[in-house]
A and B are shown apart, each in its own frame.
Chain A
Amino acid sequence: MHSITWVIWLISILGALSSTRNPFHLLLILLILIIMIKLNEKNSAIDNSFQVSLFPLILILIFSTTLFNALVSHNGETMVTSIPGNIWLFSGPITLEAILYGFSNGVILSSILLAFMIFNQSLSAKSIIRMIPRAFFPLALMISIAMNFLPSIKRRLEEIRQVQAIRGHQLRHLTDYASLFLPLLTDGLERSIWLAEAMTARGFVFNMAQQQSKKNQFVIIGGLLVFMSGWFLQLKNKNGYALGLSYAGLMVVLFWFWWISRKIPHSNYKREKWYTSDSIISIIEILILGFYILPISFIDRQILLYNPYPRVTLPNFDMMIGVLSLAFLIPGFIKKKDSI
């Protein structure tokens, strides 16, 4: 699947998560993400040694947020028990509403974590670097150098450790690690000088001064200020126009970066392929996101915007949105093709 399709999938999941607090719908999304993780495990693009155990992580996260909210939030009318005395923050009633709200918080946080875990599993570091806009090519180059030299730095560290061990050096205290770290740093910096010389010798000379124009600075910083002002105004006045101002600022900044990027010459050594399946999946994901966030007549928004406060009621489940949400699973069933 194309990197952009994964980005659209991720945005749809995050949009769905931020548009509901209904525990049933949140649990459904969490379940979908767990299935996705399992389906995706074989295609993982990152080293599995970094993967944290999934289920304990989710359980700890949900349990800790539920407990935390139950202990510190004393709002709600259905009292389960109470903490006596005058303990700062903790003393007071423990309510069912606070427990349910904390549980929803935990499910949302776990789902966000899982969605990004799937994103990281599915895309290689190179694919993510390739998505960096051309306006930031020096940044992409620095990241690329760091990524490519990392294995050799790890090997060098091991070599230094072995040499020091042969010399009888033992790592007992923190100060002993200086004999590993300082040669590693010196060696790395020496290699950076060779690399700079090699890059220049091969004709890599670039000048960013042409991009450093007053007009660029004015538009980018101006756009950012409009975005921030609109957002603060919207927070203060809850005004739709302020939100529009904020989005206008965002569009200006993004458009300007895109415009600057267009002017930077580049070559595509290997272009990522866009398949028909990418178009279909992208359209489906955008449609589902639309069902979650847009005011559509046959979807009851009140079910999605469920709130346990002030008195808890049994949340309803919208079957239509539930069935549609299953489409989040589609990328998991797409057979991995060589997209590069």
Chain B
Amino acid sequence: MGYANIRSSETPWMVVLAISLCVLVIIYEIQTQSVNTCIIAFMGMLVAINSSLRFLETAIPGPGGFSPIFFLIIMVGYVFGCNFGFLMGALTLIVSALITGGVGPWLPGQMFTAGWVGMSAPLIKPIISSLKMLFSKWNFNVEVASLAVFGAIWGLLFGAIMNLWSWPFISGPSNLYWAPGTGTTDTLYRYLTYYIMTSLTWDFCRSIGNILLLLVFGAPVIKILNRFKNRFSFTYNVEMTSPNPNLIHTVRKT
């Protein structure tokens, strides 16, 4: 019994540690591949805008798990790609946690999951292309409708993944909780039951919120982000040549 107790009390911290390491490794990989001065400024500003939405959420709480931050994470991931999407999700959560005093063992999990939300957004592009061909004669925005469905799925999935950080903490002898030695199928069944019991209604509000925000603001925000994507797609090529002595002379004289 003693051994089981030690192991089960260790597990939640191992989960937190594992997720933190994964977040660090992914962020390190992304920053070495695709970050430059433009992107630092651009991401910093987008994260500030999105965190201000989280600030509004804290000041005026919406129903259940409704949160406006996922809308911009999905949009940025969809328009700018996987790397941007992951950074946008992870950084929004860390910045808003720093502002609202929400740093805790749940934060690595939140960063990781919100990162996945943004990272997975470009994956629906092929589906949207197929649907556009299928519904070409219909008079509705397939792109926005598909993104709304995507947002709805992530509304539920975010809660399901996030529950995993707290689930091992409340382990105990019940058919709802995780216990060392439980088989895979049994663990999944227990978790599903636990999720339906504790979080489904809460996450449903987040899902509905995502649908509404994506349907209302989706089309104009995609236009704005695409416009800025084109403006940002240039690079500074600093040419390091020896200084022109005449020019220096002129400047000094002035």
Contact = CB atoms under 8 A, between A and B. Distances in A.
A14 B13 contact: yes
Give the interface size class of chain B: 35 or more
Q: Is the interface of B mostly helix, strand, loop or mixed?
A: helix
A189 B42 contact: yes
A307 B173 CA distance: 11
A251 B37 CA distance: 32
Contacts of A72: 174-176, 197
A55 to B, nearest CB: 17
B49 A116 contact: no
A253 B47 contact: no
A108 interface: yes
Contacts of A154: 52, 55
Which among A119, A139, A211 has the greatest number of chain B C-beta atoms within 10 A?
A139
B180 A238 contact: yes
Contacts of A287: none
B172 A192 contact: no
Contact of A149 (B44, B58, B102): B44
B127 to A, nearest CB: 26
Given A121-B101, A153-B49, A238-B7, A145 B44 contact: yes
B187 to A, nearest CB: 11
A33 to B, nearest CB: 13
A217 B31 CA distance: 13
B95 A147 contact: yes
Interface string B166-202: 1001101111110010000000000001000110000
Interface string A42-56: 000011011100000
Contacts of B12: 18
Contacts of A101: 172-173
A340 interface: no
B236 A136 contact: no
B48 A135 contact: no
A112 B35 contact: no
B251 interface: no
A136 B30 CA distance: 11
A211 B33 CA distance: 9
Nearest to B102: A120
A248 interface: no
Interface stretch (B112-120, B133-141, B147-155, B220-228): B220-228
Which secondary structure characterizes the binding site on chain A?
A: helix
Nearest to B33: A212
A74 B172 CA distance: 11
Contacts of B170: 65, 69, 105, 109
Given A50-B58, A186-B224, A220-B25, A145 B52 contact: no
B236 A119 contact: no
Contact of B41 (A135, A199, A212, A216): A199
A139 B197 contact: no
Nearest to B35: A138
A124 B9 CA distance: 30
B213 to A, nearest CB: 8
Interface stretch (A164-172, A223-231, A275-283, A329-337): A223-231
Contacts of A89: 175-176, 193, 197
Contacts, number: 232
B103 interface: yes
Contact of B48 (A153, A199, A246): A153
B99 A150 contact: yes
A257 B31 CA distance: 14
B43 A142 contact: yes
Contact of B44 (A14, A109, A142): A142
B108 to A, nearest CB: 13
Interface string B5-44: 1110111111001100110110111011101111011111
Contact of A145 (B5, B45, B197): B45
Given A204-B37, A220-B25, A305-B6, A128 B98 contact: yes
Contacts of A112: 104-105, 169
Interface stretch (A77-85, A176-184, A266-274, A313-321): A176-184
Contacts of A253: 21, 24-25
A157 interface: yes
A143 B98 contact: yes
B164 interface: no
A196 interface: yes
B91 to A, nearest CB: 6
B245 interface: no
Contacts of B236: 200, 205
A73 B27 contact: no
A250 interface: yes
B87 A142 contact: yes
24 contacts: A89-B197, A109-B169, A116-B103, A119-B103, A138-B31, A142-B44, A142-B47, A143-B95, A145-B41, A149-B48, A150-B51, A150-B55, A153-B52, A174-B216, A178-B216, A192-B46, A199-B41, A206-B36, A208-B31, A220-B28, A235-B11, A235-B180, A253-B21, A309-B173
Given A18-B12, A200-B37, 9 more contacts: A50-B101, A73-B173, A105-B170, A116-B104, A144-B44, A146-B45, A149-B48, A150-B99, A185-B224
3 cross-chain pairs, A with B, having the tightest CB-CB distances, nearest first? A145-B44, A73-B174, A120-B101
